[in-house]
Amino acid sequence: MREKKGPFAVTRRGFLGTLGVGAVAVVATSGIATGDTKETAVIDPREMTKVKLRINGKTHRLLVEPRWSLLFVLREVIGLTAVKEGCGRGECGACTVLMDHLPRYACLTLAVEAEGCEIVTPEGLMEGEKLGPVQQAFLEHDAFQCGYCTSGQVMAVEGLLRVRPDPSMEDIRRGVSGNLCRCGAYPHIFEAAKQAAKLKGGHG
């Protein structure tokens, strides 16, 4: 049986020939498609990496996975459990810590990102068993109910007072705006922040 001829006809030999060319093209470009080039380096997220973290005045030399959050390392590796995990996606502020005196969500910060920073957790505000000024103010003004968000609220206020020792009420509202209290203890939190400013030497 003869193969059909015409302007759009393809012979059996021509069809097989195009298959061969296509196969060669796939082999030639497979390295590009998969990113398998000398310039491309893929980091295994499970590969352990050395980090040196400065936390509450102490240096910790650790092996961590690059994907581990600072929150995970603080709680599960070092054992600083005053830092709480709430939402795990930067919406509630329960995991707030200070990094170079500024409040940061530990759940959104990789441990490897925190290297070289001065990190402070709620434990770092205490002197032995003695509460720090902000913690004491929260206690005196009943600035908590269930208490789960309290450590994050404390760190947010501490960060605010390190920048503004004598904050206005508007400053306080903005300073804790990234921290949610599901119990609605905000009036007490605001009063605690004003009292903390006095205890730390501000005028409140």
Give me the domain span that covers residue 60.
Answer: 43-124
* Domain assignment present for 81: yes
Do 115 and 92 share a structural domain?
Answer: yes
Q: Tell me which residue of 50, 167, 77, 55 sits closest to 122, measured CA to CA.
A: 55
**Strand-strand pairing, 96-99 and 118-120:** antiparallel
CA distance readout (Å), 65 to 18, 56, 74, 110, 111: 48, 22, 13, 10, 9
Do 170 and 187 share a structural domain?
Answer: yes
Predicted local confidence at residue 40, as pLDDT? 62
Do 115 and 47 share a structural domain?
Answer: yes
* Domain assignment present for 196: yes
**Which tokens in the block code for residue 30?**
């497979």
Q: What is the pLDDT of residues 84-143, one digit of tens each?
A: 999 999 999 999 999 999 999 999 999 999 999 999 999 999 999 999 999 999 999 999
| CATH code of residue 86 | 3.10.20.30
Do 145 and 89 share a structural domain?
Answer: no
CA distance readout (Å), 112 to 45, 81, 95, 184: 12, 19, 17, 35
* Domain assignment present for 198: yes
* Domain assignment present for 29: no
Q: How many domains does the chain have?
A: 2
* Domain assignment present for 8: no
Predicted local confidence at residue 172, as pLDDT? 98
Residue 203 pLDDT class (50, 70, 90 cuts): very low
Q: Where are the strands (E) in the chain, listed by range?
A: 49-55, 58-64, 96-99, 102-105, 118-120
Domain end (from 92, 124, 156): 124
Q: What is the pLDDT of residues 20-37, one digit of tens each?
A: 444 444 444 444 445 555
Q: Is 164 helix (H, G, I), strand (E, B) or coil?
A: coil
Distance (Å, rounded) from C-alpha 6 to C-alpha 10?
8
* Domain assignment present for 114: yes
Do 119 and 48 share a structural domain?
Answer: yes
Q: Tell me which residue of 52, 82, 81 sits closest to 64, measured CA to CA.
A: 52
Domain end (from 124, 139, 159): 124
Q: What is the pLDDT of residues 40-85, one digit of tens each?
A: 666 676 789 999 999 999 999 999 999 999 999 999 999 999 999 9
pLDDT at 8 over 70: no
Do 204 and 131 share a structural domain?
Answer: yes
Predicted local confidence at residue 195, as pLDDT? 97
Do 164 and 91 share a structural domain?
Answer: no
